[in-house]
């Protein structure tokens, strides 16, 4: 039976993993521990730890986040491992990873659906309590057969308990196809919030938000917060959204009702498939979304707080363009890779 008491060798911190926690990482975050992590999906490798004592079970067979060297050295990923009885592990915890809001698991009911493009749909769920999260964070959704996937919230924290997501249907995707089959009134379990690529309240810099494909949701949430909170009223906000074809573009309709729309809140849509752009008579920007950002801002990109989200290839291209080529300081860049 999965679960047990987990002790961190370095600090002596102890926490329990119950059978509903799913993974050691989720149990640690629920206990308020500053366990290092990023994607909670096995892809990034940030939550790797070294077993010291006890038995562990695998939640997935070969998570991409562990290199061959890590595997040889016996490392495991906390998001893909479960304790089997009491265990001791070795990992460096840090304050910055401690959850800012209580990490809660609760049943939520689907109350609204809205199609945004042929394969992107907005889902609204209502939970039993106020929805407390930081714009840019994500939640872990549970489906049939103990399957879980991460989805970012697109709305703002609210007292009504609404959790909104923008989800792309992946052609052969198991979980996204299951979600697209849900009907109004049906329920699922949400565990959250989690995620470190959230809005930085203290920054005074203007903001560039960049999303590709399914990465729209956290960017919309961050833009909504920046556009509506008087504390950010002096900031210019540029949203870049990249889709393959003009039919894949959406998002403007979520933001164009803010009074600052077109003044300090600007939306730039970019199409990457030139042939599709020509066929649709698209007269806007074409190319990859990161190229468009650099074309527009050049050296000035360094003066901005930058948020981005989307598929790993887009994230890699942006990391390379921003960090290596443009030398944007790391602490101004906040991103989630959608493994
Ligand atoms: C931090 C984060 C935020 C995200 N936010 C969004 C969002 O806002 N909108 C959006 O559309 N997508 C988002 N995603 C992607 C999303 O989580 C799914 O990967 C996507 O919906 C495809 O899932 P699928 O099951 O349909 O596809 P599949 O191809 O069936 O699965 C996708 C991936 O899930 C992994 N996987 C397979 N089985 C399991 C399992 N049993 N347990 C855990 N993982 C497994 C595999 O690595 C596989 O590559 C986000 C991902 C991350 C990491």
CA distance 60 to 146: 12
CA distance 184 to 289: 35
Summarised one tens digit per residue, pLDDT across range 131-146 is 999 999 999 999 999 8
Q: Which domains does the chain carry?
A: 4-97 (3.10.20.30), 104-194 (2.40.30.10), 206-337 (3.40.50.80)
Q: Could you give the residue ranges of the DSSP H alpha helices within the chain? A: 24-30, 68-72, 174-180, 216-228, 252-255, 274-279, 289-297, 312-319
CA distance 144 to 177: 12
Bridge pairing between strands 120-126 and 148-152: unpaired
Q: Using the predicted structure, report yes or no on whether residue 327 has a pLDDT greater than 80.
A: yes
Q: Span 30-54, mean pLDDT?
A: 97
∠232-235-240 over CA atoms, to 5°? Answer: 110
How much is the pLDDT for 62?
87
CA distance 126 to 15: 29
How much is the pLDDT for 61?
84
Name the region of 136 (left: φ>0; alpha: ψ -120 to 50; beta: rest). Answer: left
Q: Is residue 41 within 6 Å of ligand 1 at its C-beta?
A: yes
The helix/strand/coil state of 321 is helix
12 CB-near residues (< 8 Å, 6+ apart) = none
Q: Are 214 and 162 within 8 A, CB to CB? A: no
- Atom 15 of ligand 1: nearest residue by CA position: 338
Summarised one tens digit per residue, pLDDT across range 157-181 is 999 999 999 999 999 999 999 999 9
Q: Is residue 311 within 6 Å of ligand 1 at its C-beta?
A: no
How much is the pLDDT for 331?
96
CA distance 46 to 302: 26
CA distance 317 to 198: 20
How much is the pLDDT for 1?
65
- Atom 33 of ligand 1: nearest residue by CA position: 339
Residue 338 Cα to ligand 1 midpoint, Å, equals: 7
Q: Using the predicted structure, report yes or no on whether residue 17 has a pLDDT greater than 80.
A: yes
How much is the pLDDT for 287?
97
Percent of the chain surpassing pLDDT 70: 100
Name the region of 3 (left: φ>0; alpha: ψ -120 to 50; beta: rest). Answer: left
- Atom 25 of ligand 1: nearest residue by CA position: 175
pLDDT band at 200 (very low <50, low <70, confident <90, very high): very high
Q: Using the predicted structure, report yes or no on whether residue 255 has a pLDDT greater than 70.
A: yes
Gyration radius (Cα) of the chain, Å? 20
Tell me which DSSP letter residue 131 carries: B
Q: Ligand 1: which of 151, 163, 220 to mutate, judged by most atoms within 8 Å of the beta carbon? A: 151
According to DSSP, the residues that pair with 140 across neighbouring strands are 150, 191
According to DSSP, the residues that pair with 51 across neighbouring strands are 89
- Ligand 1 atom closest to the Cα of residue 339 is 53
Give the 3-state DSSP-derived string for 142-188, with helices as H, strands as E and coil as C. Answer: ECHHHCEEEEEECCCCECCCEEEEEEECCCCCHHHHHHHCCCCCCEE
Bridge pairing between strands 104-117 and 138-142: unpaired
Q: Span 31-46, mean pLDDT?
A: 97
Residue 122 Cα to ligand 1 midpoint, Å, equals: 16
User: What is the dihedral sign for C-alpha 165, 170, 174, 180?
Assistant: positive
How much is the pLDDT for 230?
95
Q: Is residue 336 within 6 Å of ligand 1 at its C-beta?
A: yes
CA distance 319 to 56: 34
Summarised one tens digit per residue, pLDDT across range 51-93 is 999 999 999 888 899 999 999 999 999 999 999 999 999 999 9
């Amino acid at each position: 039976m999965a679960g047990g008491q987990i002790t961190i060798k370095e600090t002596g911190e102890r926490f329990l993993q119950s059978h509903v926690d799913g993974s050691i990482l989720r149990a640690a975050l629920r206990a308020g521990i500053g366990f290092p992590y990023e994607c909670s999906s096995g892809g990034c490798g940030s939550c790797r730890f070294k077993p010291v004592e006890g038995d562990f079970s695998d939640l997935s067979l070969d998570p991409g986040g562990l290199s061959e060297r890590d595997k040889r050295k016996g490392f495991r990923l906390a998001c893909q491992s479960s304790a089997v009885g009491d265990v001791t592990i070795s990992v460096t915890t840090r304050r910055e990873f401690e959850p800012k809001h209580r990490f809660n698991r609760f049943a939520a009911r689907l109350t609204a659906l809205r199609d945004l493009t042929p394969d992107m749909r907005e889902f609204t769920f209502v939970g039993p309590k106020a929805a407390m999260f930081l714009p840019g964070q994500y939640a872990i959704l549970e489906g049939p057969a103990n399957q879980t996937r991460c989805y970012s919230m697109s709305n703002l924290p609210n007292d009504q308990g609404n959790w909104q997501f923008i989800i792309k249907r992946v052609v052969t995707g198991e979980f996204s196809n299951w979600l697209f089959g849900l009907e109004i009134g049906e329920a699922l379990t949400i565990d959250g919030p989690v995620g470190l690529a959230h809005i930085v309240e203290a920054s005074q810099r203007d903001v560039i938000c960049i999303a590709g494909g399914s990465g729209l949701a956290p960017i919309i949430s961050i833009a909504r917060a920046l556009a509506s909170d008087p504390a950010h009223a002096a900031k210019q906000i540029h949203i870049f959204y990249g889709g393959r074809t003009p039919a894949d573009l959406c998002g403007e309709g979520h933001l164009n009702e803010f009074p600052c729309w077109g003044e300090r809140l600007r939306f730039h849509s970019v199409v990457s498939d030139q042939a599709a752009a020509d066929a649709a008579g698209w007269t806007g920007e074409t190319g990859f979304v990161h190229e468009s950002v650099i074309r527009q801002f050049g050296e000035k990109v360094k003066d901005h707080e930058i948020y981005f989200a989307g598929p790993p290839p887009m994230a890699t291209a942006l990391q390379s363009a921003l960090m290596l080529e443009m030398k944007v300081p790391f602490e101004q860049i906040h991103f989630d890779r959608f493994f």
